[in-house]
Amino acid sequence: MRKMRWAAAAAGAVLLIAGCGSESDSPQGRNGDAPSAGGSATAKAGSGDSLDIEAVRKEIDAAATTAGFTARQPADDIPPGLKSCTIRWQADGGKSTDSRKTYDVTIATLIKGGWKERGRAEEKQSVTMTMDKGGWNIMAWHHPQGRVDGTDWISFIANDTGPACEKPFQQDLADKTTNKQ
């Protein structure tokens, strides 16, 4: 299941980078905030601010911990080729008294910080959302009792959508496809 989540995240990032997708896709990655041809780690936000991997990591961590989440070590690590292109932040769902409210506050804080909502899907009590800023895309999930241990599953995965990360995402997706066969 975890490998499928990474494959889905990588596939989403590849589609986002490649500009492919169905007509029902949100406009993520196709706005004026797209990174310059110069690349990924120093992609410019619409406000002129420069975002690198550490700045994005700090924004997610600050928004989530200020809202009340406690970080937990992800069960599976980021593939080596994607470490400079991806951030994975997971909350310890068992330590939150109202994880959905805390998730909503985290999202609101990120949006106030300049992240633009690009898509949202809700099914029953679960919510999945995408946001982007300065050449980065965040995919945020909240699934009540979505983990095997019965705690809520809350995850924020940020992907650099710049050209420097296109090849590593494509390679990771190809590796996962090859390993399935």
Instruction: Indicate if the pLDDT at residue 42 is higher than 90.
Output: no
- Cross-strand partners of 127: 122, 142
Least confident of 40-49, 61-70, 81-90: 40-49
DSSP per-residue string spanning 40-75: STTEEPTTS-EE-HHHHHHHHHHHHHHHT--EE--S
Every domain of the chain and the residues it spans: 2-18+57-180
Instruction: Indicate if the pLDDT at residue 129 is higher than 60.
Output: yes
Report residue 8: phi and psi, to 5°: -65, -45
Instruction: Indicate if the pLDDT at residue 31 is higher than 50.
Output: no
Q: Which of residues 108 and 41 earns the better pLDDT score?
A: 108
Q: Which of residues 28 and 2 earns the better pLDDT score?
A: 2
